[in-house]
Amino acid sequence: MIANRMCAFALSAAAATTFFAAPASAGKYDGIWSMTAVTTRGHCGVIPIGMGISNGRIYSTGGSFAFYSISLGGRVSNSGGVSLKAVAGPRVALGTGRFTHVRGSGRWHGKGPSGLCSGTWTATRS
């Protein structure tokens, strides 16, 4: 009976550790990044954005567009693939790309009151 309880406890602890532990490579992109979105089509211009990554999740650390704060969200996979979404008031942009340990780059497209915009983005660790 005691042996069964000890075995059940050990299995429960092992399962909890496996379930709640972050993947070994999940944090390799973690940190504060400086991102710049450059418009190649449309009227959106060059947009600097502060970005952070924590356990593969993207969040904004600063930046504004057309007097609205920029809100970022998205994910970075363990292999560096990224999908992200930026919102500034009524404007929404979606992006994809890839990160390495020191930089990221990709493409984005968005829509707002003045029409459609698209372009490229780059990011470097701050």
pLDDT digits (tens, 9 = 90+) for 115-124: 999 999 999 9
Element containing residue 123 per DSSP (H, E): strand 115-125
CATH topology of domain 31-125: Lipocalin (2.40.128)
Residues 6+ positions from 101 with CB-CB distance below 8 Å: 28, 29, 125
Task: Round to whole Å and give the CA distance between 51 and 48.
Answer: 10
Q: pLDDT of 64-87, one tens digit each?
A: 999 999 999 999 999 999 999 999
Does the pTM of the predicted model rise above 0.85?
no
Query: What is the rounded distance in angstroms from the CA atom of residue 104 to the CA atom of residue 82?
Result: 9
